[in-house]
Structure 1
Amino acid sequence: MATRLVQINMKARDEAALGAFWAEVLDWEMSREGPGVVNLEPKGFSYPDPVAVCIDIVVTDEPKTGKNRVHLDLATTSAAHKAEVVARLRDLGATPVDVGQGDVSWTVLADPDGNEFCVLDWHDPDQDTGPIASVVVDCADPRAMVRFWGEAMDWTVHRVTDDSAVLRSSRGVGPYLQFLRTPDVKTGWNRVHLDLRPYPGDDLEIEAARLRALGATDIDLGDSSIPWKVFADPEGNEFCLLTPR
């Protein structure tokens, strides 16, 4: 049994406005799942498919405080393309932001809701990721995190160092998942988090028990009506285990 990363969940003060921004950024379609929730996925996409990690945007009244511990890295094909992408994103409402990155080759921006993301100047034409090159999670210990997440999901571990660990779908498609060492301390609920889903025919309760045995801890939202499970990984990062599909 195993899970796979199917989407990331973003909180927003205005889910429709933020959804429209990211739909333009990624050239994806936006649909409404229900009140306060919009979904973003590639055009013609059949969910779930590892060729893309989709985005759910959920409305919240809670203000953003501090740097997000989960962010997106956007792919570009060349330095010239990167410059074009950055200019277009700024026209759409993205703003430059300093998170202490110093003199780096990538560009750090924030979306209209303040969520940080990066525009890279690297792209591997033999391993096309789509517009999202990677989903990046800040952590204290990449080696410990990849031990958990490498067992939690059926994704393949590509690289592990003291500073970062990288995984990708076992099918060799879609974005990478990177755990990046940072000195920042987690405070409060992550405004952006990962959503995992078991495969069709798997049992949600059995998969939840497997994740607990690996080191996940339950988070009680006080709502017994929700069909999914909410957990924290060994460093306290919240994630959801959705129903099998």
Structure 2
Amino acid sequence: MRLENLVMQARDAERVGAFWTQALGLVDAGPTDFGFEGRLVLGDDLFLDLSVEQVDRAPTPSPRLHPDLAGGARQQEVVDRLLGLGARHLDVGQRDVPWVVLADPDGNPFCVMEDREAFRDTGPIAALPLDSADPERDAALYAALTGWVQVVGSAPVTLRHPSLRGPLLELCRELSPKQGQNRLHLDVRPEADDPSRDELVDLALTFGATRADDDWAQGHPWVVLRDTSGNELCILDQLDG
């Protein structure tokens, strides 16, 4: 199984896609039928696709999933570069913290992180923090669906690709219950020798996930689920060959 896509929504998918292409060094980036997509190459056969879905509504004030970008010793230089690409500073009540909170051109928040040992070999995205009502429970679900393993991190539970490359998936204790649809979500795809899409859906249900019954979640070649904290995630069709 592969955690394949980080999907975000934007009112101007092409503009936001162009920003993230430059910010992250995406390849094979360009418009799609639903918006925009580009690939973040993390190593041999290891990648994460950033998909930007065109929507009409503005971003929600407090997204439960967002990217933390690697800043390290060059944090201020990274921040200045992102501001030059069209990002802006954002106040979400963070006060005195060692990371810098920014928003992309459509208002989607993200952070530029300080230097941490846990962020070695992550690539430009250091972490994907995800709000959770029960980090241990949600971690068990995502580990089962992706094959990612638990590692030491600053979140209550942290998962990472078993190669120990690429971003961390940080299960963070939520400050309040989920309301409405998340602006960002993750997609998982079964590969050729993996269980099928429907088998992965059944596996997710045994770990406490539920099927999304909203009208917008129906009629797709993928299955829209909610994790045990209500966060949307999708199981894509199996790869051929």
Give the TM-score, by structure 1 length. Answer: 0.88
- Deviations, residues 75-94 of structure 1 (Å, cap 9, x unaligned): 1231xx11111111111111
The 3-state SS of whatever aligns with 2:67 is strand
The 3-state SS of whatever aligns with 1:166 is strand
- Deviations, residues 138-157 of structure 1 (Å, cap 9, x unaligned): 12322222232222321001
- Give the aligned partner of residue 236 of structure 2: 242
2:189 is equivalent to residue 194 of structure 1: no
Structure 1: gaps spanning 5 or more residues: none
2:177 is equivalent to residue 185 of structure 1: yes
**Residue identity in the other structure for 1:18:** V
- Give the aligned partner of residue 231 of structure 1: 225
Structure 2: gaps spanning 5 or more residues: none
> Aligned equivalents of 2:121 and 2:220: distance in 1?
36
The 3-state SS of whatever aligns with 2:79 is helix
2:42 and 2:123 in contact (8 A); partners too: no
> Aligned equivalents of 2:232 and 2:218: distance in 1?
18
> Aligned equivalents of 1:236 and 1:43: distance in 2?
29
> Aligned equivalents of 1:21 and 1:71: distance in 2?
15
2:20 is equivalent to residue 17 of structure 1: no
> Aligned equivalents of 1:178 and 1:126: distance in 2?
12
- 1:129 aligns with one of 122, 136, 142: 122
> Aligned equivalents of 2:119 and 2:61: distance in 1?
36
- Deviations, residues 55-109 of structure 1 (Å, cap 9, x unaligned): 100100122222111000111231xx11111111111111111222221111111
2:104 and 2:110 in contact (8 A); partners too: yes
2:48 is equivalent to residue 53 of structure 1: yes
2:40 and 2:50 in contact (8 A); partners too: no
**Superposed CA RMSD:** 2.3
Greater Cα shift, 172-181 or 229-238: 172-181
2:70 and 2:119 in contact (8 A); partners too: no
1:72 and 1:132 in contact (8 A); partners too: yes
- Give the aligned partner of residue 36 of structure 2: 38
The share of aligned pairs that are identical, in percent, is 35
The 3-state SS of whatever aligns with 2:66 is strand
Give the TM-score, by structure 2 length. Answer: 0.89
Q: Are residues 30 and 12 of structure 1, via their aligned partners in 2, closer, same or farther at CA, if it must alter by over 3 Å?
A: farther
